Structure 1
Amino acid sequence: MGGLQGEFEALYSPGEVALQLNIQRQTVTKYARIFETEGFVFHKDEKGNRAYTDTNISMFRRVTNAKSKPGITLETAIKGVIPIYMKDSITPGVTEISTENEQYKSITNEKLDMLMHALAEQQKLILDQSQKIDSLQKQLNEHRLDVKNRDTKLLEHIREHQKERKAEMLLIAQSEVAAAREEQQEKGFFARLFGK
């Protein structure tokens, strides 16, 4: 046991108490039974097994020290120690450890359920956002394709327009050259005709 802590004292099994006091496990049980006949109540789990606190260990240590003195019996030693520790006895109205453990489990399960629910909601939100991002990416790709097609058509139109303009300019230039030659030929004919 040796590990329940928090607002409660640490609890130890009979074997752990025996090791700390350097006595037999059966001796710990014997001490506990005599204390109980005198009205002392120990922590018990849901199966009825006793659990001991640091205070109980200190109490048993005093009994061991007292009974090692000549003429002191175990019962006498326990009766001498009880008044000192009776305030530390567990009264029947105190909630037992198993109930406390159940409450702790219940609270823990509630919190775990809340966390699992929050995690599921978060995963759903992430999935929704991922789908929105995919949709926006698709729209962006379509827009890019539209812009690229528009740019390609615009560029083709500009090139076509440039070709047409170039052809027009070439025709204008050719007709101007032809007109200039014709004028020059006419001048040359009249100049020869009139001697100028």
Structure 2
Amino acid sequence: MDKDTNFIEYISPNVAAKKLGIAVTTLRKYSSLIEKTSGNKSYFERDNNNSRLYRYVDVSVLKRVISLKVRPGFSLEEAVKQVLTENDVASVSVTDTRLESDTSNDLQPIQEDTIKQYESLINQLVESNLKLSGQLESAIGRLEEHDKKLLELGQESIEKKGLFSRMFKKKLNEILNKYLQI
């Protein structure tokens, strides 16, 4: 028998997390919970640095946990217990389309709710922007009125100054004329 026929491929936590669409820290959390709940501290293989290594079947189990935890009434702990109690966890295949569709079907209501929340926030922002736009237009109108009044006051000031300087000039001219006649 050839040695390569019993070859089991392991993937790193980074690769497993990417395949699951979660962060490595989240994967670590889920993996720890699986080990704790199963009572098997060596549920996942480990490398020389004691980092977990994942088989494709482990990734499928974690996909199942993720698909269950998004369902209403399922906490993460309940999802892990459910997956561990399922009869044939080890026979879940990598190409199990049921897991793929469960995950996407379970995520769809959440995505729709998120989209509705974003739409609501966008509508609130639009209303707020319209309100602020109206307030800005009002403030600009008040500033324009204020500027007009300032210009009018400036003009009046110049006119008054002109009147006084004309009177003073007239008086000065009279005095000069008197001195020139002497």
TM-score range for the pair, normalised by the shorter chain length: 0.3 to 0.5
Higher relative contact order (CA 8 A, sep 6+): 2
TM-score, scaled relative to structure 2: 0.44
Instruction: Tell me which structure has the larger Cα radius of gyration.
Output: 1
TM-score, scaled relative to structure 1: 0.41
